[in-house]
Structure 1
């Protein structure tokens, strides 16, 4: 068994929030299992950077998280290699913009499979593995602040993320009742790493909708993850990291 703590970060292959969370954990000395679905080249680059910059061990794990058999393999591969999983951060997600008139049942299923079912299966199978560890473990899910105030053109995406707070509370109870050293929380990000297709005018509107009047960074999300890892008296909590967007209506 590895003497160092082990973190598994889903969606950490691409250079998005997951990879930044993986870097923050590596900086803390965690061994990191880097998960990807299709972005193998980027995942290899992420793992190489963690090893070179922070001197930690890594493991590349590929899986479609909506496939239960694949999730089980991912978890067993990580445990076989390191003997433990101390932290799970569920960053993997999809979000596709589409007008409501064009949304199909297939779109809804795709988002629910990736964002809800994938998170559920990871919490279930990693969580039950953590229950078997005397030291337990910590799970951090990633939802979305706009569960509270959804906006247009993401009708398939928001319901899949709106379920994350409820899922988080369910697993905090289920796993904590089995081992009180297992905790489950969630981060609800605001405008962080806005997609390239967001134009200047739309970006300015998004920033104006925050109280802090600026876009967030992946570092803000990583800090929230570390907070949940550090504070062992917090479980079942969902923390908006959104610059105040969920409580502010831009003057109205």
Structure 2
């Protein structure tokens, strides 16, 4: 299989990872891509100090260049600006990972229209706008580029108190296929795929008993790691014959229903 360097014909491909300021899945993806020789543009909204520290650490550890981009994705101008700043710093963008997302439980009866709208703005629309902006830039490059969206395994089996969240993530799957079609018309080496994480990086308030229950809900009988998601990003970026795919990385959770068990986990 070809390497990122071979795919993009550059010693240091450039990757922008949204939602990578805090030490969760986005950060793990950024660090993994840096370990493969990519220059990295991190993005943070509130985790600014953490993003700055991560940028210094990544640059020192992997001997790549880094950039910190800032802004709330509730502002519809932010997504394209992040791409512009990345290209302004590095002169190119080879990989975009739309990892930023919001979620929190809300009882169904308490959900208001503004909350649903906020989920779609941050989780869905910002990914679309970033992908469109990146695609325009990638179309100018000889080797195109790769967009990876982050969805959620549980769109096929939603759990309670997230009725505002799941529609925004379910839309990612259709959007991925649509963007793959649209951006391929700009350049036949621009690819758009999606990863649907399963239970990884459980929330800090998940107790031991609950963690065991969640682990038992997968076919592999364990909770995954952010590294599993990061490796899947690498795979989708390196395999240049995969386009428009939504890939569950969930330990079999989406196809497994243990007796008497219905669980879910946020992925970060």
Shared fold (TM-score, shorter chain, > 0.5): yes
Following the alignment from structure 1 to structure 2, what is the Cα–Cα distance between the partners of residues 153 and 90? Answer: 24
Quote the residue 1:73 is aligned against. Answer: 81
Supply the RMSD in Å over aligned alpha carbons: 1.4
Query: Is 1:232 aligned to 2:207, yes or no?
Result: no
How many aligned residue pairs are there?
Answer: 251
Quote the residue 1:148 is aligned against. Answer: 156
TM-score (norm 2): 0.90
Unaligned runs of 5+ in 2: 1-9, 261-268
Runs (4+) of structure 1 exceeding 3 A deviation are none
Quote the residue 2:217 is aligned against. Answer: 209
1:209 Cα offset (Å): 1.1
Q: Are 1:66 and 1:121, in contact at CA under 8 Å, matched by a contact in 2?
A: no
Quote the residue 1:180 is aligned against. Answer: 188
1:251 Cα offset (Å): 4.2
Query: Is 1:118 aligned to 2:135, yes or no?
Result: no
Cα deviation code 1:100-146 (max 9, x no counterpart): 12222122112111101111111111112111212100000000000
Quote the residue 1:15 is aligned against. Answer: 23
Unaligned runs of 5+ in 1: none
Correspondence for 1:47 among 55, 58, 71 = 55
Q: Are 2:11 and 2:37, in contact at CA under 8 Å, matched by a contact in 1?
A: no
Q: Are 1:8 and 1:87, in contact at CA under 8 Å, matched by a contact in 2?
A: yes
Correspondence for 1:96 among 85, 104, 112 = 104
Quote the residue 1:84 is aligned against. Answer: 92
Query: Is 1:129 aligned to 2:137, yes or no?
Result: yes
Q: The residue matched to 1:34 in structure 2 has which SS?
A: strand
